[in-house]
Amino acid sequence: MTKFTFSAENHSQQYIKITAEFSTSLDETIVQLPAWRPGRYELGNFAKYVRDFKVYDANNKLLAAEKKTKDSWGVATSQTDSITVSYSFYANILNAGSTFLDAEQLYVNPVNCCVYTQESFFNEVSVSLDVPAHWEFASSMERIGEEYKVANFDELFDSPFIASSQLQHGEYESNGTKFHIWFNGEVKPDWDRVIKDFKAFTEVQISKFTEFPVKEYHFLNQILPYKAYHGVEHQKSTVISLGPSFDVFGKLYKELMGVSSHELYHTWNVKAIRPVEMMPYDFSQENYSKLGYICEGVTTYQGDLFLLKSGFFSEEDYFKELNNQLQRHFDNHGRFNYSVGESSFDTWLDGYQLGAPGRKVSIYTEGCLLSFVIDTKIRKATNNKYGIDEVMKRLYFNLALNEKGVSENDYQTTIEAVSGESFQSFFDDYVNGNKPYESILTEALESLGLELNHVPSKKYSEGRLGFKTQSKGINALVTALYPSGPADLAKLSIGDEIIAINDFSCQGELNKWLSYFDDDAKTVTVLRDGKLMNFTFPEVNRNFYMTYSVGKLKDLSNDQKKAYENWKR
């Protein structure tokens, strides 16, 4: 057994003291810190938070630890049958995937900060805590006496925990599984409301798969006094960070429900139905896969749809979320340059940042829209007998439960088996190609009696001149350019800070000044790299950035009515 001890003694400096005891039978033992964490397909470089790294033998004699890579150490162990690794981990980041320490809590994602050896990876692991006696503990780990146990390192890395004086707890049961809801931080939970709503989406999700993968599940909510929104999935739990506190059961309540439904669906999709390249996880390096559009795209689509199916979302609520995905899709001209499959592979290259303008797409957005299209295509082909739910259920029972990873071919052939139709051109054109989505989105919406509407953006800068901005004090920072639009032709650049229009200071009113000079020539003054520069917009008689929304068709056929009712059930 491997034993970890975490100490919160040095909370003022936010360094967690960690010790790990390993058995060894090798001449050289490689001590490895994970290079990334599941749920975030980018390198984490967690070793940059480690200091005072030391290794001792069975007699407590200091051993030499030679750095082998950025996050691994080699230790000569021919003369000892066990080692104790001791180090401090700087824990000053608080989000859904981080590790954090202060005077009020010890919050640990073990995949950030726990070292392992290949020899011990499949051994049982115990965790002990040196924290104030009155702190409570929230985690999916099993408590045995004063310790917490997991079967192996794979489970340890998937078992975040919170030890805190501020934890509040509620629970419910569904289909034989006990679900725990934990809130940590300043928050006043409306327990009757939250348990009713959580149970509703939980039961609908379970009904589609017919079973839940685990017997106990924990929602670990880190509630923060400032703006926050983040969720990370685990097999037996999820961590969600949300804030500010005063709005969690107000304006942010739909956000809480949205991210919770999304993360719960991940229990099947990603934690069980996993890309073949990640079966098993290799924590020492990148795990490249093109299947982000399944991992995150299907989950994004289903997470919101289950809130509609459970009755929490109204139709207006649901289509607001779908409209957001459509807007993100059409606003991103990277869709003409990089497929969703390629963009998934490259999360490891530039993470989850916007990256180079117009280069790539979002696996969440594109995957969501493709999932919607696949769902409607299957429903149409099977006369509403099946949808994408059936595809995911078959992947779960046929592959995941047999500990087999999913390939793109598995996904495509399962869709084809359920629908009875070929999807080869669909995958060639839209998953691995750059063919525009307009036609397939229109067809999908029309099958449900819906239509895709678009009108020019009400913002003059976007609809008439083809550029997007965000506020920077009283000025406006250019964030996006419509290819060959007036702003692009005028030679504006992303990052330009717009100071004035026709020599009048914007003073936070860019679009009002642009509208005021509607019929006049417009010269924009920008600050670029410390220089003031002037550019004149050419006259282009057309519209550019549009606002997209879904609406209902006026006259619906019986087939459309039936399809719509079955889709939202």
Q: Which residues of the chain have pLDDT under 70?
A: none
Whether 145 and 173 map to the same domain: the answer is no
Whether 468 and 440 map to the same domain: the answer is no
**CATH number of the domain residue 466 falls in:** 2.30.42.10
Model pLDDT, residue 273: 98
Whether 491 and 562 map to the same domain: the answer is no
Whether 15 and 87 map to the same domain: the answer is yes
Query: How far apart are the C-alpha atoms of 506 and 105, rounded to whole Å?
Result: 46
Model pLDDT, residue 354: 84
Q: Which domain holds residue 534?
A: 460-544
Domain-embedded: residue 214: yes
Model pLDDT, residue 352: 86
Whether 173 and 196 map to the same domain: the answer is yes
Number of domains into which the chain is organized: 4
Whether 310 and 367 map to the same domain: the answer is yes
Domain-embedded: residue 11: yes
Residue where a domain stops, chosen among 212, 236, 256: 256
**DSSP letters along 259-290, please?**
HHHHHHHTTTBTTTB-BGGGSS--TTS----S
Q: Residue 337: phi, psi to the nearest 5?
A: -115, -30
Q: Is 30 left (phi over 0), alpha (psi -120 to 50) or beta?
A: beta
Domain-embedded: residue 262: no
Domain-embedded: residue 263: no
Whether 335 and 204 map to the same domain: the answer is no
How large a percentage of the chain has pLDDT more than 90? Answer: 98
Model pLDDT, residue 351: 78
Q: Which of 349, 364, 355 is nearest to 334 (CA)?
A: 355
Whether 528 and 413 map to the same domain: the answer is no
Model pLDDT, residue 76: 97
Mean pLDDT (the chain) is 97
Helix, strand, or coil here: 550?
Answer: strand
Helix H, strand E, coil C: the string for 136-205 is EEEECCEEECCEEEECCHHHHCCCCEEEECCCEEEEEEECCEEEEEEEECCCCCCHHHHHHHHHHHHHHH
Statement: the pTM of the whole predicted model exceeds 0.75: yes
Whether 205 and 336 map to the same domain: the answer is no
Whether 173 and 62 map to the same domain: the answer is no
pLDDT in tens, 370-392: 999 999 999 999 999 999 999 99
Domain-embedded: residue 174: yes
Whether 319 and 381 map to the same domain: the answer is yes
Find out whether 376 and 472 touch, Cβ atoms under 8 Å: no
Whether 206 and 252 map to the same domain: the answer is yes
**CATH number of the domain residue 185 falls in:** 3.30.2010.30
